[in-house]
Amino acid sequence: MAMTTNDFKTGMTIDLDGDLLTVLEFQHVKPGKGGAFVRTTLRNVRTGSVVDRRFNAGERIERAFIEKREQQFLYRDGTDFVVMDNESFEQSTVSETAMADAAKFITEGSAVVLLKFGDEVIGTELPASVELAIMETEPGVQGDRVSGARKPATLETGHVVQVPLFVGPDDRIKVDTRTGEYITRA
């Protein structure tokens, strides 16, 4: 669908010369002399690189439609992830690069929202926090009550987070999926 640069919104995805770019920032500029233009900061969806680009005001751009599909993560097959569509029950594989940071926070049977452009999976969305079990950490010792002290803990997904000293093995904790940090015990 064609649109103009006047229609830009933060978070919008555009198709520019075969690249999928997400608008991070934009600013309409009307200098004293010359025509108006739009200054943008764009992130390439596939590579993650960030570029600054100027467009003439009113320039036509193709908008990319990103479909969000909730799927269930079934299991890992080598480096790929096998997921099942919750509506059609079709199974498909998703590469580790498309899963990106979501791989640190999903367990078998958990739901994940895949972002698709056509048939290509370009990313994932996770809830703000997830509950995970701690598989390995040093046990808490009576008297370990120093404020702010942390220790490493390995989660059931293999990801390592810093937790307070009172958290022990086999505890369940909430982890922020945006930062990868401990929030609280569950």
Q: What is the mean pLDDT of residues 121-132?
A: 85
In this prediction the pTM is 0.71
Q: Residue 26 carries which side chain, given as an amino acid letter?
A: F
Choosing from 94, 125, 156, the residue where a domain stops is 125
The number of distinct structural domains making up the chain is 3
Query: Which of 93, 92, 89, 68 has the alpha carbon at shortest distance from 79?
Result: 93
pLDDT digits (tens, 9 = 90+) for 56-77: 888 898 888 888 888 898 988 8
Q: Per residue in 15-50, pLDDT tens?
A: 888 888 889 999 998 888 888 899 999 988 888 889
Task: Please indicate, yes or no, whether residues 53 and 71 belong to a single structural domain of this protein.
Answer: no
Cβ 22 vs Cβ 34: under 8 Å: no
CATH of the domain at 33: 2.30.30.30
At 98, which CATH number? 2.40.50.140
Q: Cα dist. 30→16, 25, 55, 57 in Å?
A: 24, 17, 12, 9
d(CA 156, CA 24): 33
Q: Are residue 108 and residue 153 in the same domain, yes or no?
A: no
Q: What percent of the chain has a predicted confidence (pLDDT) above 70?
A: 95
pLDDT for the residue 84: 92
What are 94's strand-pairing partners? 81
Q: Which range (80-94, 132-146, 165-179) has the least confidence?
A: 132-146
Write down which residue in 125, 148, 171 finishes a domain.
125
Instruction: Determine the pLDDT at residue 149.
Output: 79
Q: Which domain holds residue 156?
A: 129-185
Q: Is 168 exposed, middle or buried (0-12, 13-18, 19+ CB in 10 A)?
A: middle
